[in-house]
């Protein structure tokens, strides 16, 4: 029996070869559908991997405290709710917290080479350990020059983008002077490329200098806290939330601040991605359905064209079940062939996108993994789509009367 099926595959394969162009046309629907599904799912998974990697890099022992609604855009605070030094003190006192630091962002006026640009400027804490905590949570690493030291005043550390002549028609060098909000700052260091434009285009200055230049008083944009080792991050987050509620005098459920863990941040990204993915894959599935109908149409035509052959096969002893299997295997092969081409195209698209992201955006945004089980599953699924599409035509073929089909011209 098994060798018989092997033979059927050979027979169907030859049929496939006989009508190359028609086969390819038939398969376009399946190819597009499978390519879309494979690339979308692979890219979606790649984005999720990248996000997980990013949040893993932050460290699983970190908490992020910000004013409500400003978690991701701390520099754009327009309402009156503020996080201040007082809140930082409360967080530092909460049990389970090892260390906490605050920083603040805003858009500043940058002048160099007689050109003016507006970019993010952030105030970095003075204590080197606090700065290390902020740096670790943001993946900041010094590429050349140095970081801040105690006593640094009008000094600036610049993002990677400034080493290229992107903004000011020439690159900025160590020791150059740039003008931030009409004050001169001396450039003492550059950060390694991170891959996200807001980070790579950011400029860091000492926190107290920031407060005087931007006139922000004791306001902080975001607090980053590290828990003691061995503490449950979720528990500590709840404790921080409770202490802040008390100090800011707000009721539970009406907080004007948020405390988030990296897992929560990653989780909310993943949920959004999942929803987008389900919608896109749903749309791509329509193409698969259309592809299945295309195969069905081709199989009906094939049965008609080969009516005489079916009669011959029956004269040679083929039973209905043999004819049925023969045509089912053939339409299954159509599906499998379409699936194979679709997978190849889909994987190529995903890898190409990863390359484009790498070149134009940065290395950290997409981390593609080709999952062999997923690929095999897709191939099996395509074969099944083909077989299902072939059931009606194959059944029709198997029921043909041998006398009439032998006489068919």
Partner 1 sequence: MTKPIIEIKDVWKTYTMGDNILHVLKGVNLTIHKKEFIAILGPSGSGKSTLMNQIGVLDIPTRGKVLLDGHDISTLDESELAKIRGQKIGFIFQQFNLIPTLSALENVLLPTLFQDDSKEEQKERAMMLLTRMGLADRTHHKPSELSGGQQQRVAIARALINDPDIILADEPTGNLDSASGKDVMKMLTDLHHNEGKTIILVTHDTHLINYSKRTIYLKDGEIEKITNHNR
Q: Does 309 bind partner 1 (CB under 8 A)?
A: yes
Q: How far is the CB of 25 from partner 1 (least distance, A)?
A: 19
Q: How far is the CB of 55 from partner 1 (least distance, A)?
A: 57
Q: How far is the CB of 11 from partner 1 (least distance, A)?
A: 7
Q: Does 151 bind partner 1 (CB under 8 A)?
A: no
Say if CB 221 and CB 81 are below 8 A apart: no
Q: Does 315 bind partner 1 (CB under 8 A)?
A: yes
Nearer to partner 1, 45 or 398 (CB): 398
Q: Which stretch binds partner 1 (CB under 8 A): 87-95, 176-184, 230-238, 305-313?
A: 305-313
The residue from 31, 51, 318, 397 that contacts partner 1 (CB under 8 A) is 318
d(CA 353, CA 359): 10
Torsion of the alpha carbons at 381, 47, 261 and 255, rounded to the nearest 10: -90
Quote the crossing angle between the two packed helices 233-248 and 85-93, to the nearest 10°. Answer: 130
| Segment 17 to 36, residues that bind partner 1, using CB under 8 A | 17-18
Nearer to partner 1, 4 or 80 (CB): 4
d(CA 96, CA 225): 10
Say if CB 219 and CB 386 are below 8 A apart: no
The residue from 143, 211, 280, 312 that contacts partner 1 (CB under 8 A) is 312
Q: How far is the CB of 394 from partner 1 (least distance, A)?
A: 16
d(CA 284, CA 3): 36
The helix or strand, by DSSP H or E, that contains position 115, with its residue range, turns out to be: strand 115-124
Q: Does 14 bind partner 1 (CB under 8 A)?
A: yes
| Segment 107 to 146, residues that bind partner 1, using CB under 8 A | none
Question: What DSSP assignment string belongs to 350-374?
Answer: HHHHHHHHHHHT-TTS------HHH
Nearer to partner 1, 18 or 254 (CB): 18
Q: Which stretch binds partner 1 (CB under 8 A): 50-58, 83-91, 253-261, 314-322?
A: 314-322
Q: Which stretch binds partner 1 (CB under 8 A): 72-80, 111-119, 130-138, 313-321?
A: 313-321
CA distances to 252, 302, 388 from 299, in Å: 65, 5, 11
Nearer to partner 1, 11 or 281 (CB): 11
| Segment 192 to 251, residues that bind partner 1, using CB under 8 A | none
Q: Which stretch binds partner 1 (CB under 8 A): 166-174, 180-188, 383-391, 400-408?
A: 400-408
| Residue 381 CB-density burial (10 A; 0-12 exposed, 13-18 middle, 19+ buried) | middle
Say if CB 210 and CB 123 are below 8 A apart: yes
Q: Does 304 bind partner 1 (CB under 8 A)?
A: no
Q: How far is the CB of 27 from partner 1 (least distance, A)?
A: 19
Question: What DSSP assignment string belongs to 47-87?
Answer: HHHHHHHHHHHH-TTEEEEEETT-SS-GGG--SS--EEHHH
Among 295, 290, 352, which Cα is nearest to 33's? 290
Q: Does 71 bind partner 1 (CB under 8 A)?
A: no
Q: Give the interface with partner 1 as residue ranges (CB under 8 A).
A: 1, 3-4, 7-8, 11, 14-15, 17-18, 308-309, 312-322, 402-403, 406
């Amino acid at each position: 029996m098994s060798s018989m099926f092997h033979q059927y595959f050979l027979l169907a394969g030859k049929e496939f070869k006989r009508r190359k162009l028609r086969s390819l046309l038939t398969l376009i629907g399946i190819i597009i559908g499978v390519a879309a599904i494979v690339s979308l799912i692979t890219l979606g998974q790649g984005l999720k991997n990248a996000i997980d990697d990013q949040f893993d890099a932050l460290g699983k022992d970190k908490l992020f405290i910000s004013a409500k609604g400003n978690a991701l855009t701390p520099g754009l605070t327009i309402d009156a709710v503020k996080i201040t030094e007082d809140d930082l003190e409360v967080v530092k006192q909460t049990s389970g917290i090892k260390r906490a630091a605050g920083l603040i962002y805003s858009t500043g006026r940058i002048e160099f080479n007689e050109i003016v640009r507006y970019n993010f400027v952030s105030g970095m804490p003075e204590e080197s350990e606090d700065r290390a905590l902020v740096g670790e949570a943001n993946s900041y690493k010094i590429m050349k020059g140095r970081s801040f030291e105690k006593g640094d005043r009008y000094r600036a550390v610049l993002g990677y983008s400034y080493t290229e002549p992107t903004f000011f028609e020439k690159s900025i060098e160590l020791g150059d002077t740039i003008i931030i909000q009409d004050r001169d700052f001396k450039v003492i260091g550059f950060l390694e490329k991170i891959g996200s434009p807001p980070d790579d285009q950011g400029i860091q200055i000492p926190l107290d200098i920031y407060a005087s230049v931007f006139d922000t008083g004791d306001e902080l944009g975001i607090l980053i806290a590290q828990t003691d080792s061995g503490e449950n991050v979720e528990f500590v987050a709840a404790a921080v939330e409770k202490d802040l509620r008390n100090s800011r005098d707000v009721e539970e459920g009406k907080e004007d601040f948020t405390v988030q863990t990296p897992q929560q941040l990653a989780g909310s990204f993943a949920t959004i991605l999942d929803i987008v993915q389900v919608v896109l894959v749903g749309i791509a599935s329509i193409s698969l359905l259309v592809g299945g109908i295309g195969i069905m149409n081709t199989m009906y035509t094939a049965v008609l064209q080969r009516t005489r052959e079916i009669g011959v096969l029956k004269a040679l002893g083929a039973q209905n079940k043999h004819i049925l299997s023969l045509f089912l295997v053939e339409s299954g092969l159509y599906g499998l062939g379409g699936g194979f081409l679709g997978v190849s195209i889909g994987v190529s698209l995903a890898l190409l996108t990863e390359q484009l992201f790498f070149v134009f955006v940065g290395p950290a945004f997409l981390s593609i993994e080709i999952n062999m089980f997923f690929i095999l599953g897709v191939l099996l699924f395509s074969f099944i789509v083909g077989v299902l599409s072939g059931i009606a035509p194959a059944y029709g073929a198997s029921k043909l009367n041998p006398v009439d089909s032998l006489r068919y011209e």
